[in-house]
C-alpha cells in the first residue's frame, strides 16, 4: 500500500516530505526581529481550527510527508493545542513530529509533549543575560525559558536544540556563552541568520546582520569545528566538536543557497500553503477546507496541484525593501 502512495514531487524533482505547520500567529513574546511591538493578530474566524489543522496534517501524511514541525507564533499558547498534538502523534506514517517553541510554557508541557510522541524540540534562546533577553524578546522572562529547557532535557526528548538569532551590537558578544551553555547541557545549538520577513522599524536589518561565516569564525577559534555530512534538506549545516556531544549548526538562507535540496513547504495559520519561504507563491487551503468540511480528498488534490508551482529558489536582499511583507510569526519559522 505504502509503495503506491502518491508522492509530492515538484518540477525540479524535489520530493516534499517535510511540512512546517503554523498553529497560531499569537505569541507571549515580541522578539524584535520577528514582530512589531504592537501587533494585530488575526480574528479567530480566519485561523484554521484545530480540526482543520489536523485534516491538513493528515492530507500531507497520506501524500508521503513524514515530518511535521509545529510552529507559529508560539504553538504552546494556542488553546487546547495539546489535543491536536496528541492526535498528530497517532498518525500512521508520520515518523517525526516536532515543535519549535520559545520555551516559556515548557515547564508545564515538556512531559505531555513527550508522552504524545514529540521526540525532538527546538527552543529559541538568544541571550543568557536577563536584561538583554528582555530587550530582544520585549516581554520574555529568561528564567522561565531556562527552566523550560531543563524540563525538556528532563523529559528525555531524543533531541533538544537551541536556536539563536544573533544581531550585531545586541547579542553578538554572547556567541561563545551560548555555545558553552549548549555544551554544558549536552544539547545542540543552531545560529540562524536574520531574514527580512516583515517590515520592522526597531532596527536596521542590514546593520544588525551577522552572517553564519562570522559566527563560525568566532566559535572555531575556541572549539575546532568539523563539518558533519548531516543534511536536513534545509539551509542548516552542522559541525561537531571533538570534546563534546553538542553540535553547532548554522542556518544561512543568505549566504548559502540550499534551494536545490528543499524538501519542505509551510502552511500558515490562515491555511495558506507557502511553497517557498522567500516567495509569495501560495495556495489557499482554507477555502478548500471550508468548501468541503471534514473531507480529505479535496485538500489532498489542492496540495498535489500546488506542488506544481513550487518555485526553484528564493532571493533575499537585506538592502532592498522586503519582498516578503508577512512577518515570521505569520509564516511559521
Q: Which is nearer to ligand SF4, 96 or 202 (CB)?
A: 202
Radius of gyration of the chain (CA): 19
Q: Which of 60, 64, 35 is nearest to 201 (CA)?
A: 35
Answer for which of 10, 19, 21, 29 binds ligand SF4 (CB under 6 A) is: 29
Q: Is residue 143 packed enough to be buried (19+ CB in 10 Å), middle (13-18) or exposed (0-12)?
A: exposed
Choose the one of ligand SF4, ligand SAM, none that binds residue 216, judging by a C-beta under 5 to 8 angstroms depending on kind. Answer: none
First to last CA, the chain: 33
Number of chain positions touching ligand SAM (CB under 6 A)? 19
Q: Which is nearer to ligand SAM, 6 or 112 (CB)?
A: 112
- Contact characters 120-159, ligand SAM, x per CB under 6 A: ----x-----------------------------------
- Contact characters 105-134, ligand SF4, x per CB under 6 A: -------------------x----------
304 contacts 6 by C-beta, under 8 angstroms: yes
Least distance (Å) from ligand SAM to the CB of residue 294?
28
Choose the one of ligand SAM, ligand SF4, none that binds residue 30, judging by a C-beta under 5 to 8 angstroms depending on kind. Answer: ligand SF4
Q: How many residues does the chain have?
A: 333
179 contacts 134 by C-beta, under 8 angstroms: no
Q: Which is nearer to ligand SAM, 300 or 314 (CB)?
A: 314
Answer for which of 16, 91, 182, 195 binds ligand SAM (CB under 6 A) is: 195
3-state SS, one letter per residue, for 6-42: CCCECCCCCECCEEEEECCCCCCCCCCCCCCCCCCCC
Answer for which of 163, 208, 246, 252 binds ligand SAM (CB under 6 A) is: 163
35 binds ligand SF4 (CB under 6 A): yes
- Percent helix, strand, coil in the chain (nearest 5)? 35, 20, 45
* Residue with cell string 561565516: 213
Angstrom distance (rounded) from CA 264 to CA 45: 27
Choose the one of ligand SAM, ligand SF4, none that binds residue 263, judging by a C-beta under 5 to 8 angstroms depending on kind. Answer: none
Of the candidate spans 98-106, 149-157, 166-174, 209-217, the one that interacts with ligand SAM by CB under 6 A turns out to be: 98-106
For ligand SF4, the binding residues in 138-197 under the rule CB under 6 A are none
329 binds ligand SF4 (CB under 6 A): yes
Number of chain positions touching ligand SF4 (CB under 6 A)? 13
Under DSSP, the state recorded for 209 is: B
For ligand SAM, the binding residues in 260-319 under the rule CB under 6 A are none
Of the candidate spans 29-37, 47-55, 149-157, 243-251, the one that interacts with ligand SF4 by CB under 6 A turns out to be: 29-37
H runs (alpha helix) in 166-283 = 175-185, 205-208, 212-222
Of the candidate spans 68-76, 212-220, 290-298, 312-320, the one that interacts with ligand SAM by CB under 6 A turns out to be: 68-76
Largest CA distance in the chain: 57
Q: Which of 260, 162, 256, 160 is nearest to 212 (CA)?
A: 256
197 binds ligand SAM (CB under 6 A): yes
Nearest 5°: phi and psi at 96?
-140, 100
171 binds ligand SAM (CB under 6 A): no
Q: Which of 39, 3, 14 is nearest to 276 (CA)?
A: 14
In the complex, the residues that contact ligand SF4 under the rule CB under 6 A are 27, 29-31, 34-35, 72-74, 102, 124, 328-329
Amino acid at each position: 500500500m505504502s509503495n503506491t502512495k502518491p508522492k509530492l514531487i515538484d518540477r525540479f524533482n524535489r520530493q516534499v516530505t517535510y511540512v512546517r505547520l503554523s498553529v497560531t500567529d499569537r505569541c507571549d513574546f515580541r522578539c524584535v526581529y520577528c514582530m512589531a511591538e504592537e501587533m494585530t493578530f488575526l480574528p479567530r474566524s480566519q485561523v484554521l481550527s484545530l480540526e482543520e489543522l489536523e485534516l491538513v496534517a493528515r492530507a500531507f501524511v497520506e501524500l508521503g510527508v513524514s515530518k511535521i514541525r509545529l510552529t507559529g507564533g508560539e504553538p504552546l499558547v494556542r488553546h487546547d493545542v495539546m489535543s491536536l498534538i496528541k492526535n498528530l502523534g497517532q498518525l500512521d506514517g508520520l515518523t517525526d513530529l516536532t515543535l519549535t517553541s520559545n520555551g516559556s510554557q515548557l515547564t508545564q508541557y515538556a512531559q505531555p509533549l513527550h508522552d504524545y510522541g514529540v521526540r525532538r524540540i527546538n527552543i529559541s534562546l538568544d541571550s543568557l543575560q536577563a536584561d538583554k533577553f528582555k530587550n530582544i524578546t520585549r516581554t520574555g522572562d529568561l528564567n522561565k525559558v531556562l527552566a523550560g529547557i531543563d524540563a525538556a532535557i528532563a523529559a528525555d526528548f531524543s533531541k533538544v536544540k537551541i536556536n539563536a538569532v544573533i544581531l550585531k551590537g545586541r547579542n553578538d558578544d554572547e556567541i561563545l556563552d551560548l555555545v558553552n551553555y549548549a555544551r554544558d547541557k549536552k544539547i545542540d545549538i543552531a545560529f540562524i541568520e536574520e531574514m527580512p520577513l516583515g517590515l520592522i522599524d526597531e532596527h536596521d536589518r542590514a546593520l544588525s546582520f551577522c552572517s553564519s561565516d562570522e559566527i563560525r569564525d568566532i566559535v572555531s577559534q575556541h572549539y575546532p569545528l568539523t563539518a558533519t555530512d548531516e543534511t536536513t534538506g534545509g539551509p542548516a549545516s552542522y559541525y561537531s566538536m571533538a570534546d563534546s556531544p553538542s553540535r553547532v549548526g548554522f542556518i544561512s538562507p543568505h549566504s548559502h543557497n540550499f534551494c536545490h535540496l528543499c524538501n519542505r513547504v509551510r502552511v500558515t495559520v490562515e491555511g495558506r500553503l507557502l511553497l517557498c519561504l522567500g516567495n509569495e507563491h501560495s495556495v489557499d487551503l482554507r477555502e478548500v477546507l471550508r468548501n468541503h468540511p471534514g473531507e480529505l480528498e479535496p485538500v489532498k488534490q489542492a496540495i498535489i496541484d500546488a506542488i506544481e508551482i513550487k518555485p526553484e529558489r528564493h532571493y533575499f536582499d537585506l538592502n532592498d525593501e522586503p519582498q516578503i511583507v508577512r512577518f515570521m510569526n505569520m509564516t511559521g519559522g
